[in-house]
Structure 1
C-alpha cells in the first residue's frame, strides 16, 4: 500500500512514516544540490532570508535537464545524497522535514533526523525521465548562475518515493540487508 503525502510535510506526518513505506508525494518540493546547499547554509549563517520556506519542506537532491517542448521539466533523477550531508543538519535544525535522493547518509545526518523529526526518501536513480512526468510545474527560484543545480520549486502530483530512513533512525538499507541475511541462514 502506498501512502499519500501532501506538502508541507509536518513532523506529525513524518512520525507516521516507517522505513520501507512507499509514498506518493503531491504538492511543492524543491530541487537543490551541494552548491545550492552551501549557499543556503551560508545565507542562514549571515541571518539572511532564504529563497524558500525551509520549515516543513522537502528538498529533492536533483539537477534537472532542460524541459522539452510542452513539458514542465526535463529528466529529474536523484543525485547521490552524501554530498549534502555537511549542510543537511543545519537545514533540519531550521525545520526541513524531508529529503529525497539516493544512497547512504552519514551518522550525523541520521542523528539530526531523529532530533528534528525528519525523513529521508529514496527515488529511483536512472528513472529521471519517468519521474519528470510527475512534475506539473517547475519554477527557478534562486541561484540561476548554478544552471541545473539552481533551486527550483516543483509542483508534483503522486511523485513516487520510498522512506529509506525514518525519523526514528530506522534505515531500510540496514533492515533490508539483515532480512536478506536471515533468508540465507
Structure 2
C-alpha cells in the first residue's frame, strides 16, 4: 500500500522514508529545470534573494507542455535529474528537502541528500499524462521569460512516486542492481 505524504516536507516524514518506498505526494511543490536551476544558483552566489523560500520544499524537474482546453496543465513528465546535479548541493544547503525527477544522481548529490536529511523521488518516465491529472493548480511565480522552464508553484494530489535516495544514504537503484546480481 503506498504511503501518503504531504509537501512541504517535515523532518519526521523524511526520516521515515526508505529507498524503494512507493508513495503518493499531495500538497505544494515547485517546478524548475536546467535554466531555472542555473539562475537560482547564480542568484545564490550573488547573494540575491531566491524567488521562493526553499525551506522544506520539493522541486519537480519538469517543463510542462501548454494546457489544452479544460486542463490545468499539459503533459508533465519528469526530466533527467543529472542535469541539475551541479546546482543541487547548494540548494539542499539552503533548505530544499525533496527533488522529483528521473535517473541517477551523482555521488556529491547523494552525500548532500544524506547530510541535509533530504530525499530524491523518481516519477515514472512516460507517465506525463497521468502525472498531469494529479496537478490541480498551476501558477508561474518566477522566470517567466524561460517559458516552459519558468518556476511554477503546483498544487498536487496523490502524485505517484518512488523513493530513490533516502536521508540515510540508501540508493534504490543500487539496491535493485545488487538484488538482480544475487538472483
TM bracket (short chain): over 0.9
- Give me the CA root mean square deviation: 0.8
2:127 corresponding residue in structure 1 = 127
Partners in 2 of 1:162 and 1:55 — Cα distance? 22
**Where does residue 80 of structure 2 map in the other structure?**
80
CA deviation string 1:90-138 (max 9, x = no partner): 0000000000000000000000001000100000111111110000001
CA deviations on 1:38-79 (whole Å, 9 max, x unpaired) are 111111222222111200000000000001111110000000
Unaligned stretches of 5+ in structure 2? Answer: none
Q: What is the correspondence of 1:1-185 to structure 2 with a 5 Å cutoff?
A: 1-183=1-183
Unaligned 5+ segments in structure 1 are: none
Q: d(CA) in 1 for partners of 2:77 and 2:154?
A: 13
C-alpha displacement at 1:12, in angstroms? 2.1
* TM-score, normalisation: structure 1: 0.97
TM norm structure 2: 0.98
**Aligned equivalents of 2:55 and 2:41: distance in 1?**
14
Distance 2:174 2:110 in 1: 13
Render the CA deviation track for 1:157-178: whole Å, top value 9, x for unaligned.
0011000110111111110111
**How many pairs were matched up?**
183
Q: Deviation of residue 23 (structure 1)? A: 1.1
CA distance in 2, matches of 1:30, 1:37: 12
